[in-house]
Chains A and B, each alone.
Chain A
Amino acid sequence: MAEFYTTYGFLITSMVLAAAMALSLYLPLMAGQLSLASPGFYAIGGYIAAVLSTQVFHPGPGPYPLYLVLIEMLVAALVSAALAVLVGVPALRLRGIYLALATIAFVEILRILSLNLPILGGAVGIFGIPQPFNTQGEYIWLGLPLLLIAMVFIYRLERTRMGRAFYAIREDETAADAMGINPTATKVIAFTMGAVLAGVVGVIAAHFLNTWNARQGTFDSSINYLAYVLIGGSWTVFGPVVGGLLLTALPEILRGLASFRFILFGILIAVGAIFFPQGIITPELLSRFRRGRQPGRPASGGQQASQTHGPAK
């Protein structure tokens, strides 16, 4: 087992971080907002970690203290939240594909700015980001708790007034507005939550990868995250996580095919979209799983769950 983890620790940690990024895209999608801004906030979080740990904090010899990583996460969360509100208030008046395009523009503007700001190291980026751990696999101790906290948070959120408001807007914004939900505020909150999560993941990723540059968090990755969410399933918290884990492992599983593997990866993503239009994890699947464990439960519970959103209550 330990030997297995030595070999695959990097991959497993990457999978966990990808799943967390998928959740950051899922959060605004819960409120019906297709935002592709996550890579932008991920890049910002990474740059914050890179600059703070190489130029501001000087903890002395020995491994980089974890409490400083937590401080970086806090800074990244605050900056991401502030920027998300700033960008979100004008952008979230847009619907559907228009919002997606606005967020693509946001990510590209950030990328070009980061290429040209001297403090961020230009095209080369920032090297030698200090390491709190001895091996890359140990970053699972940061990544996994973050993923679990995010999952529990979203799972609970789905059952609060705020989460219900998200789903109401996803279903019909005008009707939600008529029911007394403030659509703009609610959408900005969903967008900001996703941004904060992406920023914090960026902090971990910057230490994990040891180097950070403008190639982190680009347009390609936004579509990857979208693939994680849509192929994994965009109606429950488990869908994006499963999508992120599976699709990150896929190129590695296909490694034996050498130069064919990304060709096949692309085809599999297209095929996945065609054959799993609802995603792999659907609310129906979850309720069937639950009924299997609790035979006393009436069958109508599952029926009901398939019409409302999220797992059966």
Chain B
Amino acid sequence: MTLINVWQNILNGLAVGSVYAIFAVGYTLIFSILRIINFAHGAVFTVSAYFTYLLTGSAINTNGTLHKLFTDGFGAPALPIKLPFVIALLVGGLLAGLVGMLLDRIAFRPLRQRGADPLLTLVSSLGVAVAMVNLIQYFFGAEIYSYPANPFGNIPAAVNFGTADTPVPVRTIQVIIFFVAIVIVIFLTWLINSTKLGKALRAVSEDAVTASLLGINTDRIIMFTFFLSAFLGGISGTLVGVSVGVAGPYFGITYGLKGLAVIVLGGLGDIPGAIIGGIVLGLAEAFVPPQFVAFKEAVAFLILFLVLVIRPQGILGRAAVVKV
């Protein structure tokens, strides 16, 4: 492996890892508040990639029901708006956030109010995820969608930072991913550490009953957490969609499963841990030697299994004290 390869791998690993990190922070936020895993997070990721696709004014294939609806309504199989990519990314994320709030109302809140076994939320959230994925299939068809060739306007898709002989191309989307990731980390740090809302969020995550006794509206905090979680899941879905294409209604499942490895690696419920875990997984995948590329997908699950067996509290976590 040459030095150039190493740089290229680090760059690619950081880009993929940043997306994992954004996705996983959303995942782990829900766990930090509710101590459960939201198995619909992968479906939110998917749905948002489609939202952003629509908002950029891109066309729907003939197999999707929206094709006919839009053609009848607007005269073309696309929405009559064409938002710039960065705006569409943000609006798509906000829409995903609303989907997340709806998810809480349908799949989580009824069980919470009945005091049901937390395991049941695995089933109810997955039921909603199945419904969402099939709704996507109904509206958009099962095909692969690619964003238009130049979604960022008139800037080149990649810039070469090496020489002509030894190219180190940095793709524009990678720059956007880094930028978005940094903005999100700064925003989250501010939100959680310096606002009243963040304080309430930490209080609920520490002890929901005491928090509600102290006058915090826990149901609203939980709903906000779902919004924030789905917003982050949605942003990461769009970023993956625009860099490698939207590979059909099921493409969030892989991320949903790999995300589990990331949040366990960082320690379940640990936000800085999830960010580090995402970067670590991205880099680990980037450095899989080419002859073993078929096993690249297994890296996340190997990490998941080994971390659980060796250090279940995650890389940053402290060992849990078992109370009898």
Residues on A close to B: CB < 8 A?
A: 34, 90-91, 93-94, 97-98, 100-102, 104-106, 108-109, 112-113, 115-116, 174, 219-220, 223, 226-227, 230-231, 259-260, 262-274, 277
Query: In the docked arrangement, what's the CA distance between A11 and B233, Å?
Result: 38
A46 to chain B, nearest CB (A): 20
20 chain-A/chain-B pairs, Cβ below 8 angstroms: A34-B119, A98-B308, A101-B37, A102-B305, A104-B304, A109-B301, A219-B253, A220-B253, A226-B123, A259-B137, A263-B134, A266-B127, A266-B129, A266-B132, A266-B133, A270-B107, A273-B127, A274-B111, A274-B120, A277-B116
Residues of A within 8 A of B297 (CB): 108, 112
Is the pair A223, B126 in contact by a Cβ cutoff of 8 Å?
A: yes
For the complex, is B312 an interface residue (Cβ under 8 Å from A)?
yes
Supplied contacts A263-B131, A273-B116, A274-B110, 14 more A-B pairs, CB within 8 Å:
A97-B37, A97-B268, A105-B261, A105-B301, A106-B305, A108-B298, A109-B302, A219-B253, A227-B127, A259-B134, A259-B138, A260-B138, A262-B130, A270-B128
Residues of B within 8 A of A274 (CB): 110-111, 114, 116, 120, 124
Query: In the docked arrangement, what's the CA distance between A174 and B324, Å?
Result: 7
Given contacts A226-B122, A226-B123, A259-B138, contact A105 B304 (CB under 8 A): yes
Which label, helix, strand, loop or mixed, suits the secondary structure of the A interface?
helix
Residues of B within 8 A of A230 (CB): 117, 119-120, 123
Residues on B close to A: CB < 8 A?
A: 36-37, 39, 106-107, 110-111, 114, 116-117, 119-135, 137-138, 253, 257, 260-261, 264, 268, 294-295, 297-298, 301-302, 304-305, 308-309, 312, 324
Q: Which of A105, A174, A271, A277 has the most CB of B within 10 A?
A: A105
Query: In the docked arrangement, what's the CA distance between A97 and B28, Å?
Result: 14
> B304 is contacted by which of A101, A260, A262 (Cβ under 8 Å)?
A101
Given contacts A116-B295, A260-B138, contact A97 B36 (CB under 8 A): yes
Is the pair B134, A223 in contact by a Cβ cutoff of 8 Å?
A: no
Q: Which of A34, A97, A100, A266 has the most CB of B within 10 A?
A: A266
Which label, helix, strand, loop or mixed, suits the secondary structure of the B interface?
helix
Which 10 interchain pairs have the tightest Cβ spacing?
Answer: A266-B130, A266-B131, A269-B127, A270-B127, A277-B116, A105-B304, A273-B124, A105-B305, A262-B134, A105-B301
Given contacts A112-B301, A115-B294, A226-B122, contact A269 B130 (CB under 8 A): yes
Residues of B within 8 A of A106 (CB): 301, 305
A77 to chain B, nearest CB (A): 24
Given contacts A226-B123, A274-B114, contact A267 B301 (CB under 8 A): no
Residues of B within 8 A of A90 (CB): 309
Which chain A residue has the least Cβ–Cβ distance from B137? A259
Residues of B within 8 A of A259 (CB): 134, 137-138
B319 to chain A, nearest CB (A): 13
Query: In the docked arrangement, what's the CA distance between A215 and B46, Å?
Result: 21
Q: Which of B127, B135, B268, B302 has the most CB of A within 10 A?
A: B127
> B260 is contacted by which of A94, A104, A174, A264 (Cβ under 8 Å)?
A104
Which chain A residue has the least Cβ–Cβ distance from B125? A270
Q: Which of B36, B39, B134 has the most CB of A within 10 A?
A: B134
Given contacts A109-B298, A267-B127, contact A91 B119 (CB under 8 A): no
A247 to chain B, nearest CB (A): 11
Is the pair B127, A116 in contact by a Cβ cutoff of 8 Å?
A: no
Residues of A within 8 A of B120 (CB): 230, 273-274, 277
Residues of A within 8 A of B135 (CB): 263
Given contacts A223-B39, A259-B138, A277-B111, contact A113 B127 (CB under 8 A): no
Residues of B within 8 A of A108 (CB): 257, 297-298, 301
B272 to chain A, nearest CB (A): 20
Is the pair A266, B123 in contact by a Cβ cutoff of 8 Å?
A: no
Residues of A within 8 A of B131 (CB): 262-267, 270
B69 to chain A, nearest CB (A): 14
Which chain A residue has the least Cβ–Cβ distance from B65? A259
A213 to chain B, nearest CB (A): 15
Query: In the docked arrangement, what's the CA distance between A94 and B123, Å?
Result: 21
Which chain B residue has the least Cβ–Cβ distance from A219? B257
Given contacts A219-B253, A226-B123, A267-B131, contact A105 B308 (CB under 8 A): yes
Q: Which of A94, A101, A104 has the most CB of B within 10 A?
A: A101
Residues of B within 8 A of A104 (CB): 257, 260, 301, 304
Query: In the docked arrangement, what's the CA distance between A259 and B257, Å?
Result: 26
Is the pair B128, A266 in contact by a Cβ cutoff of 8 Å?
A: yes
Given contacts A109-B298, A263-B134, A274-B110, contact A101 B127 (CB under 8 A): no
A111 to chain B, nearest CB (A): 9
Which chain B residue has the least Cβ–Cβ distance from A258? B138
B37 to chain A, nearest CB (A): 6
Residues of B within 8 A of A94 (CB): 308-309, 312
> A266 is contacted by which of B121, B134, B268, B294 (Cβ under 8 Å)?
B134
> B130 is contacted by which of A260, A265, A277 (Cβ under 8 Å)?
A265
Query: In the docked arrangement, what's the CA distance between A270 and B103, Å?
Result: 11
Query: In the docked arrangement, what's the CA distance between A4 and B294, Å?
Result: 46
Residues of B within 8 A of A231 (CB): 123
Query: In the docked arrangement, what's the CA distance between A109 and B106, Å?
Result: 32
Given contacts A97-B36, A97-B37, contact A227 B126 (CB under 8 A): yes
Residues of A within 8 A of B253 (CB): 219-220
Query: In the docked arrangement, what's the CA distance between A101 and B114, Å?
Result: 25
Query: In the docked arrangement, what's the CA distance between A260 and B134, Å?
Result: 8
A240 to chain B, nearest CB (A): 13
A256 to chain B, nearest CB (A): 16
Query: In the docked arrangement, what's the CA distance between A146 and B122, Å?
Result: 29
Is the pair B127, A268 in contact by a Cβ cutoff of 8 Å?
A: yes
B160 to chain A, nearest CB (A): 34
